[in-house]
Structure 1
Amino acid sequence: MYFVVKRFRFFVEPLPAVVLAGIFSILFASLSFAQRLEQLDAQRQQQASAHQARIDREQQTPDQQSGLFNELAATDQLGGRRSYVHGEKPCFEIRNVQLDGQHAYRFASTLASITGGRDRGRGLASPIGLCLGAQSIQTLAVRLQDLLIEQGYVTTRVLVAPQDISNGNLTLTVVPGTISALRRTDTSDIRAHFWNAIPISDGDFLNLRDLEQGLENLRRLPSVQADIDIGPGQLPGQSELLINWNQSKPLRVFASVDDAGNKATGKYQAALTVAADHIFTLNDIFYVSDSRTLGNTKNQRRRAGSSGFHYSIPWGYWQLAFNTNRFRYHQLIAASIRPYVYSGESRSTDLTLSRVVWRDNRRKTQMYLKGWERRSYNYIDGTELELQRRRTAGWELGLNHREYLSRATLDVAVAYRRGTGARGAMAAPEEQTGEGTSRFRLVTGSLSLAVPFRIGQQAFRYYGTLRAQWNSTRLVALDQFAIGGRYTVRGFDGEQVLMGERGWAWRNELAMPLQVGVLVGQELYLGLDVGRVGGPASRYLAGNSLAGAVLGIRGQLGKYVNYELFAGKPLHKPETFKTARIASGFSMSIAY
């Protein structure tokens, strides 16, 4: 063959066919390799979502909020009356209200909310400058005690001692309710230990918020049944806490099978989790898990799996949790000359310290600080692709808030995530082209609303979740926001996803519990989801939004088996976005 440049002719010897075939094989393999990297990044995100769902399931703790001690927490002692008795005789103009009693200073801010007028909108007007008689003064004392009970001080009493108030100075006496002892009942398990779970000790003020926190720490173990009773102490104002704690079995086994994988590494997956509760008698949770693709798919051409480890321990209002997860994959890729094996693994580890910073009978707020590390390695025929090696680390600061709105429950979460140079972090390969960085900065947020309601005799439940991500730096694929699949926008099979540096996904679900015969315990649901991605990485996408619908049923079979079946359909997608016309799926689990 020959080619011409200007007026000169160059002669080139024909290349052997096998060399040409090898060149084209390498070119096509490179394209295939790039596509598989994108697929694996998407699958890693799905694996991370599945791993997080497993953590959430294991750490699910029933909130001990309003209603825990209803018989003690009734705060409307005024019978709906929120005003003083006018025209009362005799009366005295009140110029100052002060508290007396041991540790009375701790309740000064509560009194100030009344005397400063901040309680007027929902309670009692400020007494300063008013002419009050005996009944009105008693009304003031009862209102102050109501506020203390709302704050959890259910055994603290406010009294009006005999005094001369002709000078305008009124003194209210506070008798704080304290704890004389914490002890377990005679029927409790001998392994019951609660010194690190209950954030109060002998001599402390009795506060319901502390008991609720302690009960959450005790009941966080699925194998434990725990209750706290308040009994009278030896002295007036003192109470004993009687803790009843029993554990059915320290070990739990959870096995599941689903079709949440993809064609690249195997569609069907099985997982096994073994958990140990209270293993060090510290109300701690420990579990190990392992998942892998099922079946010998084409002589092991495709397979993937993951393993995880979790340990967490409470300490009053604090909690320390450690997680590590490993994802591995193996693919046999057909090529023109010979097949090659593309494999790899990624590891993620995090340590989280969290604290409940506020709780009352309607809300709870928790803050946390997390340190994390992530590593990944890719190989072809056992030889590492060093240019694709990744090692990143950083920290995350977040806030979780739960609010009870009548029968509805609102959950809000926001977090700031930052990549740093800690733990020997390496620069991302994308930094050479400006398409990503290991020193990234991003903000994530979520909003969830659960509303049970009835239409006639039929119960329904609405559950909606809005997740979003904002970035201030370019992000590598693994940190980007992805939509399309059972964990994000349903109605899509998850073989392809849309990804961008920022985005949002809104999931809506209307569920109807079945209440007839053998169908009791099952639930039909209809879902409608929509999502959108943005940022520089989304410029090359055929579109940036998805919408889909799903219809499914979930429930429990017997005592140990849970299942879910669903079928979804895309409602909106880019024209070239490939997905199944009907995206169906299942999951089944056995817990023992």
Structure 2
Amino acid sequence: MLAAAAQAQAQITPGALDRQNQLIERQQQELLRQEQERALPQRPPPGGTDLRTIEPKVSVPDLGAPCREIREIRIGGASRLPEDVRTAITRDHAGRCLGTAELEAVLAALTKSYIDRGFITTRAYLPAQDLRSGVLDIAVVEGSIERFELQQTGRSASAVSIAGAFPARPGDLLNLRDLEQGIDQINSLSSNEATLDVQPGSQPGRSVVVVRNKARLPVHLFTTYDNTGTPATGERSASATLSLDGLLGLNELIAITRRQSVPHDREHNAGMTALRASVPFGYSSFSLDASESDYTNTLVLPSGRKLASEGRTATQSLGVDHVVYRDQASRISMSARLSVQDSRNFLGGEFLSVSSRKLSTLDLGTAAFTQLGGGVLNARLGFVRGLAILGALEDPAGLSDKLPHAQFSKFTLDLGYSRRFDAGGLPLLWSSQFSGQHSRDTLYGSQQILVGGIASVRGSLLNTLSGDSGYYWRNEIALPWQTVAGGEALSGRVYLGYDFGRVSNRADGVPSGSMSGATLGASLLWRRLSLDVFASRALHLPASMTRESTRVGVRLSYSL
């Protein structure tokens, strides 16, 4: 067996075999990402009350005169009033004869300054006083939370955690953005459908925050069968994702995914098991991901002898995401994720040290999600650094720039935009996604960007490019439809897609270039069953590649 492995490595260069192993590994990562995106709930788009439309309600008692001469203005109880607002009110109104209209304007300006920052239950008013003294006293009652109240209907095996979802506590000033964040955290679980109501409390300035939740069964199962794999590891696969919502009472999501090529072929197969757990806490969300994947790709030597190329990869990561700003149309967050990936490859049962490695990375990013131009825009800018910790591979001193680096740096950029529009009376949906990265280091395959395949440039499944730097751009126009057949609701869409990608590499002899492809597809949704059928074809490939025939893909999904 050792002789056969040595013969195979001589005929297949170690570099080529390493790139092939890393390509399969990266394809497995992309398949897992897609599977989890389809199976798990996505965070809802930004939304909330437009505070600019809320006008303060103020009233002024009878002055007993057309106006009163005011030489000094004193504002009490306003611990959260910005100093510039306080200064502006004194500058604009002190030393003048103020009538009812002017006093109402002062109170409205004070109250509005709170409302614009989310403090919607804070009010300014005039206490009993003698304005003939020339001193105007304004009292501000900063609205606070008296208590939270949860009202649930429907069936649920777990209770919503108010303390974990909302960043505010009883006694805190009531800020609408804090409450909207809490509702978003609760509704991040697909078993919840929560709404918010603010009711008067037992004392002036205090409010009861009522959360009404329509709960559903907190256990979900999502299954898929598709033929989007490759001949090397199996073209057809089946997968299942079991997700559990809030069973620990922490608003947590726990999901287990298993994907396996079917039917099982001893010579060409791949499998993957993944665990994801996330726990929200106010403006933050903490997550844990762990996955294990394996594959077997049997090579045929010129002698006719078969030799198995096998790989096993274990990945663990811890992440935190924190919302730093939100309003009625936007949300901005910062994130950090520490990951460890251990890959082990074998040829003919012999361990390949040259293509086996352990990498540790830290990913820091800033993400924005906003409504723009009638659509929704999301963006993320990230910086990834390879670290020499947790047993990871360390680069030797003087490592050539042309060789892969474990301690690398790269920048990533992801953009997405979707918008509905009418064309000739047809309600169309346009979506566009861009994903790119740039690095001045030579990277291992697991850190390169992959172009080609169902997750990037459709139409090129066997022909793929991976690079240290590069990007791909996916565009899709869809025509959604809905009808009723036999008393049952049917819906779906017809879509047309165009994808383009380009990569570049620093190492000599590693292919760079660009490719593009087009896709025509249709999907159908009936009850809990969905079917997606599409045909993809490459439009442009590097000259060294042979264009594949039109590939027809089928994906059948069922959810419980």
Structure 1-normalised TM-score? Answer: 0.83
Q: Where do residues 165-176 of structure 1 align in structure 2 (5 Å cutoff)?
A: 172-176=138-142
Match of 1:66 among 34, 48, 63: 48
- 1:534 equivalent in alignment to 2:504: yes
- 1:484 equivalent in alignment to 2:452: yes
Q: How many equivalent pairs are there?
A: 544
Structure 1 stretch 422-431 or stretch 228-237: which is displaced more?
A: 422-431
Match of 2:148 among 182, 187, 190: 182
Q: Which residue of 2 aligns with 1:221?
A: 189
* Paired residues of 1:363 and 1:401 also in contact (CA < 8 A): yes
Distance in 2, matches of 1:169 and 1:455, equals 63
SS of alignment partner, residue 308 of structure 1: strand
* Paired residues of 2:68 and 2:131 also in contact (CA < 8 A): no
Distance in 1, matches of 2:418 and 2:401, equals 44
Q: Which residue of 2 aligns with 1:585?
A: 553
Match of 1:508 among 475, 479, 484: 475
* Paired residues of 1:452 and 1:461 also in contact (CA < 8 A): yes
Match of 2:252 among 284, 295, 299: 284
Distance in 2, matches of 1:425 and 1:23, equals 27
Match of 1:407 among 374, 387, 404: 374
Q: Deviations over 1:86-105 (max 9, x none)?
A: xx9758688x866321xx12
Structure 1 residues 342 and 97, CA gap change in structure 2 (3 angstroms)? farther
Match of 2:323 among 316, 339, 356: 356
Deviation at residue 369 of structure 1 after TM alignment: 1.3
Which protein has the larger Cα radius of gyration, Structure 1 or Structure 2?
1
Q: Which amino acid aligns with 1:405?
A: L
Structure 1 residues 332 and 467, CA gap change in structure 2 (3 angstroms)? closer
SS of alignment partner, residue 425 of structure 1: coil
Structure 1 stretch 369-378 or stretch 424-433: which is displaced more?
A: 424-433
* Paired residues of 2:160 and 2:246 also in contact (CA < 8 A): no
Distance in 2, matches of 1:110 and 1:186, equals 43
Distance in 2, matches of 1:538 and 1:257, equals 40
Q: Can you give the 5+ residue segments of structure 2 that lack an aligned partner in the other structure?
A: 58-64
Structure 1 stretch 180-189 or stretch 479-488: which is displaced more?
A: 180-189
Q: Which amino acid aligns with 1:75?
A: I
Deviation at residue 340 of structure 1 after TM alignment: 1.9
Structure 1 residues 23 and 423, CA gap change in structure 2 (3 angstroms)? closer
Q: Where do residues 222-371 of structure 1 align in structure 2 (5 Å cutoff)?
A: 222-297=190-265, 300-335=266-301, 336=303, 338-371=305-338
Distance in 2, matches of 1:481 and 1:23, equals 30
- 1:523 equivalent in alignment to 2:493: yes
Distance in 2, matches of 1:133 and 1:528, equals 66
Q: Which residue of 2 aligns with 1:453?
A: 421
* Paired residues of 1:159 and 1:173 also in contact (CA < 8 A): yes
Q: Which amino acid aligns with 1:266?
A: G
* Paired residues of 1:447 and 1:465 also in contact (CA < 8 A): yes
Structure 1 residues 574 and 143, CA gap change in structure 2 (3 angstroms)? same
Q: Which amino acid aligns with 1:453?
A: F
Distance in 2, matches of 1:534 and 1:127, equals 65
Q: Where do residues 40-55 of structure 1 align in structure 2 (5 Å cutoff)?
A: 40-55=21-36
* Paired residues of 1:110 and 1:147 also in contact (CA < 8 A): no
Distance in 2, matches of 1:386 and 1:445, equals 32
Distance in 2, matches of 1:384 and 1:268, equals 28
* Larger RCO (CA under 8 A, 6+ residues apart): 2
Deviation at residue 402 of structure 1 after TM alignment: 0.8
Structure 1 residues 216 and 431, CA gap change in structure 2 (3 angstroms)? same
* Paired residues of 1:453 and 1:459 also in contact (CA < 8 A): yes
Distance in 2, matches of 1:471 and 1:116, equals 55
* Paired residues of 1:75 and 1:147 also in contact (CA < 8 A): no
Q: Which amino acid aligns with 1:382?
A: G
* Paired residues of 2:70 and 2:136 also in contact (CA < 8 A): no
- 1:108 equivalent in alignment to 2:75: no
Q: Which amino acid aligns with 1:99?
A: I
Deviation at residue 517 of structure 1 after TM alignment: 4.7
Structure 1 stretch 504-513 or stretch 364-373: which is displaced more?
A: 504-513
Q: Which residue of 2 aligns with 1:148?
A: 114
Structure 1 stretch 577-586 or stretch 377-386: which is displaced more?
A: 577-586
Q: Which residue of 1 aligns with 2:412?
A: 444
Q: Which residue of 2 aligns with 1:139?
A: 105
Structure 1 residues 396 and 129, CA gap change in structure 2 (3 angstroms)? farther
Q: Which amino acid aligns with 1:466?
A: F
Deviation at residue 393 of structure 1 after TM alignment: 0.5
Match of 1:398 among 362, 365, 369: 365
Q: Which amino acid aligns with 1:415?
A: G
Structure 2-normalised TM-score? Answer: 0.88
Q: Which residue of 2 aligns with 1:416?
A: 383
Deviation at residue 382 of structure 1 after TM alignment: 2.1
- 1:99 equivalent in alignment to 2:75: yes
Structure 1 residues 535 and 23, CA gap change in structure 2 (3 angstroms)? closer
Q: Deviations over 1:15-38 (max 9, x none)?
A: xxxxxx98995466424x654432
Match of 1:553 among 492, 502, 522: 522
Structure 1 stretch 448-457 or stretch 236-245: which is displaced more?
A: 448-457
Deviation at residue 250 of structure 1 after TM alignment: 2.5
Q: Which residue of 1 aligns with 2:19?
A: 38
Distance in 2, matches of 1:114 and 1:466, equals 46
Q: Deviations over 1:221-256 (max 9, x none)?
A: 112232332222111111112223353223211111
Q: Deviations over 1:569-592 (max 9, x none)?
A: 222222222332323322221110
Q: Can you give the 5+ residue segments of structure 1 that lack an aligned partner in the other structure?
A: 1-20, 79-87, 118-125
Q: Which residue of 1 aligns with 2:342?
A: 375
Distance in 1, matches of 2:34 and 2:4, equals 45
Match of 2:54 among 75, 83, 86: 75
SS of alignment partner, residue 297 of structure 2: strand
Q: Deviations over 1:336-367 (max 9, x none)?
A: 16322221211111000121111111211111
* Paired residues of 1:496 and 1:577 also in contact (CA < 8 A): yes
Pairwise CA RMSD: 3.3
Distance in 2, matches of 1:144 and 1:550, equals 57
Q: Which amino acid aligns with 1:174?
A: V
Distance in 2, matches of 1:293 and 1:428, equals 36
Q: Which amino acid aligns with 1:41?
A: Q
SS of alignment partner, residue 199 of structure 2: strand
SS of alignment partner, residue 224 of structure 1: coil
Distance in 1, matches of 2:461 and 2:275, equals 26
Structure 1 residues 495 and 108, CA gap change in structure 2 (3 angstroms)? same
Structure 1 residues 74 and 476, CA gap change in structure 2 (3 angstroms)? same
* Paired residues of 2:73 and 2:90 also in contact (CA < 8 A): no
Q: Which has the higher strand share?
A: 2
Structure 1 residues 132 and 509, CA gap change in structure 2 (3 angstroms)? farther
* Paired residues of 2:26 and 2:445 also in contact (CA < 8 A): no
